[in-house]
């Protein structure tokens, strides 16, 4: 019995990882775009970027998943559960990552921009070639922490029937009624994925703060 | 009457049904968040102090608690408490199970916040206060706690905002709160987009002011240093 349970849950863990990596990828790209929009000289663009961040951070991700899965379905746009989950976590995560990028960019010394301008780079070139590479390095530990959080939050995707660990566990329980055992195995699987990751992030944090100690 | 006008006049009718129900459920969300926060803030303090204990066993146990709880999703804990505990003879109503689950989960995060607060104060502060003859309660009340509060308050506020939104997860064990009410309404009216947008707006109306307060607090406390 137990080996079967573990096998089913481990197979579902692949979907959990897919949701996490997919959502993270969407959030990384969209979040960078929003962080850059927020720095735009065009007032309305910067304000819209700010509103995006504020709205997506102040509404539970579960509600966002419901809007994307059930709400868009009502309008005729039916997404597969996995797609809806990746999109939902991606759009939500973009708001958090935009803030992480922003503090990374702000942490880069202003002189870097000035020096880049002095050798004739445009503002965009200076951002892309000089500031962003440094900002991303500063932002890596918080991005890692966000990723670990996302791995755990992906359990919420059970609510839109994405076939990840929590969903598989729920189905198993409907068949076997072994709720405590199955949920404990499920917890162990999550822990064995997230703990090594968060140790990795912690050592990254320690390394990057050592590198910048003055 | 054109289709759009018909839609909006229907929607206006429906909104008058939904909003009072959702507002009432939002009250439950707030209640759940407050109770879970109180549990997390108290139990978190116990864990933070346990981690400082001289007894190796006590501090290790507390550290393991923090790692395990932070390693698994809050939803797992809710499921274990609500669906798992009955097989051990403990049956809790969904609301209580949600408060306990979110509180026990939050305690792990809050204990880390306290730890950073306690660790963030230089030892010399206490030694200096004692050197000028302050008693222990005075040292704590005038010297240590005000400085610790400064470090602890903004992350504690951020935790509260996250908790307020995480209460939505309690709908997955059927606890009566805003998201569950929205789910029930949307299966009754078949208008999930409209209903979830209204419930989302309610979460926003609760979380955004809280976020503004935390930001203001962060700025003020930073200015003091």
Which CATH number covers residue A98?
Answer: 1.10.3720.10
- Classify residue B49 by burial, with Cβ atoms within 10 Å: 0-12, 13-18, 19+: middle
A99 touches chain B (CB under 8 A): no
The CB-side HSE value for A210 (13 A sphere, CA atoms) comes to 6
- Helix runs in chain A, H state only: 2-38, 43-58, 61-66, 72-74, 81-107, 110-118, 123-125, 132-153, 165-176, 179-211
CB nearest A63 (choices: B67, B74, B200):
B200
- Mean pLDDT (whole number) for B106-130: 90
Residues of B in contact with A191 (CB under 8 A): 68, 71-72
The pLDDT score that the predictor gives to residue B225 is 56
Q: Is residue A143 part of a domain?
A: yes
Q: Give the whole-number percent of chain B exceeding pLDDT 70.
A: 98
pLDDT at A213 over 50: no
Residue B214: list chain A partners with CB under 8 A. Answer: none
The 10s digit of each residue's pLDDT in B91-114 is 999 999 999 999 999 999 999 999
Whether residue A137 is contained in a domain is answered as: yes
> A125 to chain B nearest CA, in Å?
32
Between B76, B88, B203, which is nearest A190 by CB? B76
3-state helix vs strand vs coil in chain B, percent to 5: 90, 0, 10
Cβ pair A182, B84 in contact under 8 A: no
The CA distance from A78 to the nearest CA of chain B, in Å, is: 13
Average pLDDT over residues B113-134: 88
Alpha-carbon span B84 to B90, nearest angstrom? 9
Q: CA-CA distance, A2 to A6, in Å (whole number)? A: 6
Tell me the per-residue pLDDT of A16-75, one tens digit each, with 9 for 90 and over: 999 999 999 999 999 999 999 999 999 999 999 999 999 999 999 999 999 999 999 999
| Residues counted in chain A | 214
Angle between helices A43-58 and A2-38 (to 10 degrees): 150
Q: How confident is the model at residue B224 (pLDDT cuts 50, 70, 90)?
A: low
From A140's Cα to the closest Cα of chain B, the distance in A is: 20
Residues of chain A neighbouring B70 (CB-CB closer than 8 A): 194, 198
CB contact under 8 A, B196 and A155: no
Class of CATH domain B13-223? mainly alpha
Q: Do residue A191 and residue B71 have CB atoms under 8 angstroms apart?
A: yes
Nearest residue of chain B to residue A197 (CA atoms)? B71
Closest-CA residue to A123 (of A104, A149, A105): A105
User: Is position A6 within any domain?
Assistant: no
Domain residue ranges in chain B: 13-223
In a domain, A42, yes or no: yes
Residue of A64, A183, A194, A199 to mutate, interface with B, max B Cβ within 10 Å: A183
Minimum distance, in Å, between the CA of residue A60 and any CA atom of chain B: 5
Lowest-confidence segment of A108-117, A160-169, B42-51, B119-128 by average pLDDT: B119-128
Burial B59-96 (b: 16+ CB within 10 A, else e): eeebeebbeebbbbbbbbbbbbbbbbbeeeeeebebbe
Average pLDDT over residues A135-153: 95
pTM here is: 0.92
Instruction: From chain B, pick out residues whose CB is under 8 angstroms from the CB of A186.
Output: 76
Asked whether the beta carbons of residue A60 and residue B204 sit closer than 8 angstroms, the reply is: no
The number of folded domains in chain A is 1
Are B73 and A59 within 8 A, CB to CB? no
The residue behind tokens 């000028």 is B132
Please check whether residue A46 lies inside any domain of the structure.
yes
Yes or no, beta carbons of A194 and B67 under 8 Å apart: no
Domain residues for the domain of A76 are 15-162
B1 has pLDDT over 60? no
Whole-angstrom Cα distance, residue B171 to residue B168?
6
Does any CB of chain B come closer than 8 Å to the CB of residue A16? Answer: no
Which residues fall within 8 angstroms of residue A145, CB to CB, at 6 or more apart? Answer: A198, A201
For B144-171, the pLDDT digits (tens) are 878 888 889 999 999 999 999 999 999 9
Cβ contacts of B199 on chain A, cutoff 8 Å = 63
CB contact under 8 A, A62 and B84: no
CB proximity list for A93: less than 8 A, separation 6 or greater: A23, A24, A26, A27, A31, A146, A150
Q: Which pLDDT belongs to residue A214?
A: 42
Nearest residue, CB atoms, A190 vs list B73, B165, B208: B73
Query: Among A104, A82, A86, which residue's Cα sits nearest to residue A212?
Result: A104
A171 Cβ under 8 Å from any chain B Cβ? no
ipTM for the complex shown: 0.91
Residue of A nearest to B209 (CA): A58
- As a whole number of angstroms, the distance between CA B221 and CA B225 comes to 7
């Amino acid at each position: 019995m137990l080996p079967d349970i573990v096998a089913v849950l481990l197979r579902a863990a692949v979907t959990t990882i897919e949701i996490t990596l997919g959502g993270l990828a969407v959030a990384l790209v969209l979040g960078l775009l929003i962080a850059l929009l927020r720095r735009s000289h065009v007032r309305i663009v910067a304000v819209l970027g700010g509103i995006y961040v504020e709205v997506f951070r102040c509404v539970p991700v579960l509600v966002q998943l419901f809007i994307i899965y059930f709400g868009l379905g009502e309008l005729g746009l039916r997404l597969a559960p996995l797609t809806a989950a990746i999109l939902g976590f991606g759009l939500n995560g973009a708001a958090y990552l935009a803030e992480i990028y922003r503090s990374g960019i702000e942490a880069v010394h202003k002189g870097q921009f000035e020096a880049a301008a002095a050798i004739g780079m445009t503002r965009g070139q200076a951002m892309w070639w000089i500031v962003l590479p440094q900002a991303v390095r500063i932002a890596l530990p918080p991005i890692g922490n966000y990723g670990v959080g996302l791995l755990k939050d992906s359990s919420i995707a059970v609510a839109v029937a994405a076939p990840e660990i929590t969903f598989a566990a729920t189905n198993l329980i409907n068949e076997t009624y072994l709720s405590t055992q199955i949920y404990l195995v499920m917890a162990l699987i999550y822990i064995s994925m997230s703990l090594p990751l968060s140790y990795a992030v912690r050592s990254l944090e320690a390394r990057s703060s050592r590198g910048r100690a003055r | 009457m054109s289709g759009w006008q018909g839609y909006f006049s229907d929607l206006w009718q429906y909104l008058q049904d939904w909003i009072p129900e959702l507002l009432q459920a939002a009250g439950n969300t707030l209640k759940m968040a407050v109770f879970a926060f109180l549990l997390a803030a108290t139990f978190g303090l116990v864990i933070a102090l346990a981690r400082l204990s001289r007894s190796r066993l006590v501090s290790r146990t507390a550290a393991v608690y923090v790692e395990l709880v932070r390693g698994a999703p809050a939803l797992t804990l809710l499921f274990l408490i609500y669906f798992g505990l009955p097989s051990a003879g403990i049956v809790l109503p969904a609301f209580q199970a949600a408060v306990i689950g979110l509180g026990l989960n939050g305690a792990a995060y809050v204990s880390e916040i306290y730890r950073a607060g306690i660790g963030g104060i230089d030892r010399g502060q206490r030694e200096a206060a004692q050197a000028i003859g302050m008693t222990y309660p005075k040292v704590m009340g005038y010297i240590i706690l005000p400085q610790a509060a400064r470090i602890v308050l903004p992350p504690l506020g951020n935790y509260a905002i996250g908790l307020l939104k995480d209460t939505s997860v309690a709908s997955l064990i059927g606890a009566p709160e805003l998201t569950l009410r929205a789910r029930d309404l949307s299966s009754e009216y078949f208008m999930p987009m409209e209903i979830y947008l209204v419930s989302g707006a309610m979460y926003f109306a609760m979380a955004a002011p809280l976020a503004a307060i935390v930001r203001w607090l962060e700025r003020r406390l930073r200015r003091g240093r």
